[in-house]
Amino acid sequence: MKARIGTRWGNAALVAGCLAGGAASAQIIPNGSFESGLTGWTVGGTGRVAVITSANVTPGPFAAADGTRFAILSTGPGNAGGGALLIDGNATNDFDAATLSVTVSIPFRPAVLSFEWSFGSSEQDQDGTYDDLFDVTIFQGAPPSDPFTAGRVFSGSSPRNSGSSISNFPNTHILTTSVVNWSITGAPPVSGTQLRFGIPGWRHACVPIPLPDTAPPFTRTIRFRVADQGDPEYDSALVLDRVEIRAACDATPLSRVTQITHTSAQQVSLQGGGFVWRGDAQTRAAIDPTGTVRAVVSNANLDGTNPNFVQQVFVRVGLGGWSRVTVLPMALDGQIQGLAFSGTVGGTPGRYLAIAAQVSPSDNTEIYRWDRVNNILTTITATSGCHNRNPAINRGGDVIAFDSDCTSLGVSAGHRHVLVWAGGGTNAVSNIITVAPGPSAACTARNPWLNHHADDGERDGRYVVYEANCNHGDNADGNFEIFRFNRDTGSRRQITTSTAPVTNFSPQIDRDNNGRNVYFLSNGNYAGANPTGAVQLFRFQCNNNADCTGSAGGVGGFFQWTQLTATAHLLYGFRVPFDPNPASNTPVTRFAFERFDLASGLTQVGYQAGTSSAAEQILALQNGVLGLAAGLDVSVPVVQFITAGDLINQNSDLNAELYSVRVE
């Protein structure tokens, strides 16, 4: 759970962290740089753990990240013993597990675990069955039983020359693709560890520590673990240095781009008594407001439970492994159309996931809500001869908006309307388009978005924005405009007023507590800075009241327009990286975007903080991008997307994969 700085415990934690300073907070783990050997640490599993220097790495060199000494956890040399485990949940046994742990009392919250790491593996050129791995887990009391996801805050698996992977954990970085035959010497019990591809350079990690919203201190055990996957022979080793607990991440750069999925372009499935070639594909993705819980639509066998490569929803918490939403009964050739995460509920980030799915080719697209804590699937719609799509969900997960063409739900035949479920049974929905003053039912409304309220459940999900050609009194020409609807009062505000060829689309609300800031894409000229009619990102800011009434615009008026982009490129998608804990109604000016670059003919994925294009950062430049999403991991924006590009030399088959970028 991410800390709410505005709570009384959050403020106390922030003060404690500031008084302690970086060095003092690091003393929570007094021997985190291992200059005093393993003093204060507990070794477990096979016990193949030691503290070494660069002199123990042959031929090396590999110097410590801090001081002269660092810890090494090895799966070797050779068969180190120990029973079979299922660490990442992919149904392939893991062997030779060694652990290094420390139990501490954390006197403040929020808190983060910061450490330097690298993972060298002899499996780098082996086939996918052999994929050694490591993980970092934070827990209270007894360690969790494998396989698990709760409490796992970081993980990785063998780097790959081919980019393939069998482990649910992401591939790590490489030193070289050539065999260099490094070994560990003079450091029992890890002496003789063979690392055929050496040890890549140090990487820095900083991850939030899950803590409840109660008063500190908090007693927690931090455990690092390595294991062989698929066989107990080829060695791998995790090296660690400067392990610290801090109040916040420091300025040390983190790995920016991470490839989250590693799948093959073709797989074989059994169908109709014969074998069928089916291509792996990641087609849609979502991320929760904290940027730590991800969902992806994929027909790959990401967790070992999808051998026939049926399209499924897989979820990953933190840097743990993928797990399939098993209660969603997807059949062969079923399709999943949309995903949306709730906020943190009961201390669980992204607890609820709204899903639009056609579970079989003969079925309709229906709306579901999955509770990932209790593994319960709620059926929101059950219809016939129609489709329900584009779900949006509020912070608390108890309001879902979607668009539908189902006449049984009150939609005019041949059109789409925006419907809202606010608890209750299946098909217990309301049609917000026909609420007075309603238009002729013969109109189309689509792509809804809900506000999130941090502390007031009654206002959480109260406001819906959508795009429609409906005439609620000021749209006689039937152009597609942006609307905002108050579900409590029935008040509706038409945000844009335009005529063709102006198009307005993709509305969103940031996590302003009152839903006053509406964002959308348009080729209109609402702020007077878009005379060429390029598609830009605009913000409508309501200044006066919850219903945004009044007609006087401008600074100090009832509403205010801001054009957030100024580009001639073809902007076609954006996501506001929502602050999960908004403290005021101040609108955000940071967002992720996807656009077509006219000069290169490629798609740009970028991030902008501010209203000037000088503040933008280009994160990726590829042939095509899908599934853009964004969140805030404490204060670090996290942008994820799907592309068939090879961004970090781990996707040589150019399959569509899920990538994540931390914008440091």
The two three-digit tokens of residue 70, written as one number: 């660092």
Alpha helices in 171-300, H assignment, sequence order: none
Calpha distance 112→218 (Å, rounded): 13
Q: Are strands 376-379 and 429-431 parallel, antiparallel or unpaired?
A: unpaired
Average pLDDT over residues 528-537: 89
Least reliable range by pLDDT among 30-34, 128-132, 659-663: 128-132
Give the model's pLDDT for residue 455.
66
Q: Does residue 380 register a pLDDT over 80? A: yes
Q: Does residue 219 register a pLDDT over 90? A: yes
Least reliable range by pLDDT among 111-115, 209-213, 435-439, 548-552: 548-552
Average pLDDT over residues 79-94: 80
Judged on CB neighbours under 10 Å (0-12, 13-18, 19+), 47 is middle
Query: Is pLDDT larger for residue 8 or for residue 59?
Result: 59
Give the model's pLDDT for residue 2.
28
Q: Does residue 582 register a pLDDT over 90? A: no
Alpha helices in 112-215, H assignment, sequence order: none
Give SS3 for 327: coil
Question: Please, which residues have CB within 8 angstroms of residue 307's CB and are 6 or more apart in sequence?
Answer: 269, 301
Q: Does residue 314 register a pLDDT over 60? A: yes
- The continuous run of DSSP H or E covering 16 comes out as helix 8-26
Calpha distance 631→215 (Å, rounded): 26
Q: Does residue 21 register a pLDDT over 60? A: no
Q: How many angstroms separate the most distant Cα atoms in the chain?
A: 83
Give the model's pLDDT for residue 276.
46
Query: Is pLDDT larger for residue 340 or for residue 268?
Result: 340
Average pLDDT over residues 517-532: 91
Q: Does residue 269 register a pLDDT over 50? A: no
Q: What is the mean pLDDT of the chain?
A: 83
Least reliable range by pLDDT among 41-50, 244-253, 374-383, 581-590: 581-590
Q: What is the pLDDT of residues 633-648, one digit of tens each?
A: 766 788 888 888 877 7
Q: What is the pLDDT of residues 444-492, one digit of tens each?
A: 999 999 988 876 667 889 999 999 999 988 899 999 999 999 999 888 9
| CA dist list (Å): 54 to 34, 43, 174 | 14, 22, 19
Q: Which range among 136-140, 207-211, 346-350, 399-403 has the greatest average pLDDT? A: 399-403
Query: Is pLDDT larger for residue 579 or for residue 380?
Result: 380
Percent of the chain beyond pLDDT 90? 45
Query: Is pLDDT larger for residue 315 or for residue 618?
Result: 315
pLDDT tier, 99 (very low <50, low <70, confident <90, very high otherwise): very high
Smallest CA-to-CA distance from 177 within 153, 199, 161, 195 is with: 161
| Residue at token pair 């790590």 | 172
Q: What is the pLDDT of residues 286-295, one digit of tens each?
A: 999 888 899 9
Asked if 393 and 373 touch (Cβ cutoff 8 Å), the reply is no
Q: Does residue 277 register a pLDDT over 70? A: no
Q: Which residues pair with 195 in a beta bridge?
A: 182
Average pLDDT over residues 2-19: 28
Give the model's pLDDT for residue 452.
85
Sheet order of strands, 590-597 included = 570-575, 590-597, 602-609, 616-622
Asked if 80 and 21 touch (Cβ cutoff 8 Å), the reply is no
